Amino acid sequence: MAALALLCAGLFLVSLGIGPVALSPAEVIRALVGAAGDPARVIVLEIRLPRALLGVAIGATLGLSGAAMQGLLRNPLAAPSLFGAPQAAAFGAVATLSLGLADALSYALPVAAITGAFLSVFLLVVVAGRGAGLVLLILSGLAVSSLAGAATALAMNLAPNPFAALEIAFWLLGSLEDRSMRHLAMALPFMLAGSALLVSQRHAFRALTLGEDAATSLGIHVGRLRLLVIGGVALGVGASVAVTGTITFIGLIAPHLCRPLVGYDPARLLLPSALAGAALLTCADIATRIIPSTTDIKVGVLTALIGVPFFLFLIVRERRRLGVGALG
């Protein structure tokens, strides 16, 4: 846990130092405390700090959301991005933008994205039903995310001009570039509220290990818990999508990285997963700046490229359980 926190802090400093003008961690720290010359201070504080802070905040939110979904559904293959939450949030935001209801810096954007995420996760939990097995969940997730993707495609299809379509497409790729403190201020309150909601339910996740019936007999209000978790995940995922576009698979990977370290207890997994998510996204964001390429690689593309093979690996590992079908 402490090691994870240190890792995050280290990556955070590296993230502040990387870019067209490379700065050493020492220079970064000097710039942060205001002792460096003007140019370094401007670069660090105004260009890179918002980006690095957003990376940490969003990574943590996504890692926490993934751990919470896995706890709620008692399923190591659960994650918001597999259930279409980011895609639906993106549709909410895109629809708001393309209908001209709001500009890219208004609070209407996170609200629309949160609504999209909420509806998608809610739909998933309703369709898959109580105590759903792996196969049912993943199939329903596939359906929900395809629907959200189709709806977004429709919005692009109907876009008034090619530039608007291009803007939507770029935004769907997910990126932390050129974000300001304004973006951070727009998303952070929602992400904090969502995270607080999820962490407050940690003991209920542990009781759910015994299944919904036994958890109910222990005094857990399972129906309310489900709504709270859907709400918490939607707040976090919706707010992050609203400022960076879709960044997927952090929520799936982070808890898996933590289980060998802190065990399977779904309650004790929450905070380490948040830290691992922050470290992962910061790492990915650093990588987009290091990998040489003619155009910038978007961080959302990179996390999906890493995340999907990881997902396949998990499927192989869980194959026995998946094959049995009814179990899970």
Closest separation between CB of residue 200 and another protein, Å? 11
Q: What does DSSP assign to residue 104?
A: T
Q: Which is nearer to another protein, 114 or 204 (CB)?
A: 204
- What string marks each residue from 187 to 216 as x (binds another protein by CB under 8 A) or -? ---------------xx--xxxxxx-xx-x
Stretch that binds another protein, among 172-180, 257-265, 279-287, 293-301 (CB under 8 A): 257-265
Give CA–CA dist 303/291, Å, rounded.
14
Q: How far is CA 8 from the centre of its chain?
A: 16
Q: Which is nearer to another protein, 74 or 289 (CB)?
A: 74
Stretch that binds another protein, among 45-53, 58-66, 217-225, 304-312 (CB under 8 A): 217-225
Determine if 314 is a binding residue for another protein (CB under 8 A).
no
Helices 250-262, 270-290: axis angle to 10 degrees equals 120
Closest separation between CB of residue 296 and another protein, Å? 40
Give CA–CA dist 174/223, Å, rounded.
33
Q: Are 67 and 276 in contact (CB under 8 A)?
A: no
Determine if 226 is a binding residue for another protein (CB under 8 A).
no
Q: Which residues contact 167 (CB under 8 A, 6 or more apart)?
A: 97
Closest separation between CB of residue 249 and another protein, Å? 22
Closest separation between CB of residue 215 and another protein, Å? 9
Determine if 10 is a binding residue for another protein (CB under 8 A).
no
Q: Which is nearer to another protein, 83 or 205 (CB)?
A: 205
Provide the 3-class DSSP secondary structure of residue 132.
coil
Determine if 313 is a binding residue for another protein (CB under 8 A).
no
CA atoms within 13 A on the CB side of 323: 5
Determine if 11 is a binding residue for another protein (CB under 8 A).
no
Give CA–CA dist 69/75, Å, rounded.
8
Which sign, positive or negative, has the C-alpha torsion 196, 197, 198, 203? positive
Q: Which residues contact 65 (CB under 8 A, 6 or more apart)?
A: 79, 80, 85, 194, 198, 232, 233, 236, 237, 251
Q: Which is nearer to another protein, 56 or 225 (CB)?
A: 225
Binding residues for another protein, total number by CB under 8 A: 23
Q: Are 91 and 151 in contact (CB under 8 A)?
A: yes
Q: Which two three-digit tokens encode residue 245?
A: 């576009």
Q: Which of 253, 277, 235, 206 is nearest to 121 (CA)?
A: 235
Determine if 74 is a binding residue for another protein (CB under 8 A).
yes
Closest separation between CB of residue 210 and another protein, Å? 6
Determine if 260 is a binding residue for another protein (CB under 8 A).
no
Closest separation between CB of residue 218 and another protein, Å? 4
Q: Which is nearer to another protein, 182 or 203 (CB)?
A: 203
CA atoms within 13 A on the CB side of 319: 4
- What string marks each residue from 264 to 293 as x (binds another protein by CB under 8 A) or -? xxxx--------------------------
Q: Which is nearer to another protein, 135 or 239 (CB)?
A: 135
Give CA–CA dist 2/19, Å, rounded.
28
Q: Which is nearer to another protein, 25 or 211 (CB)?
A: 211
Determine if 225 is a binding residue for another protein (CB under 8 A).
no
List residues binding another protein (CB under 8 A): 74-75, 202-203, 206-211, 213-214, 216-221, 263-267
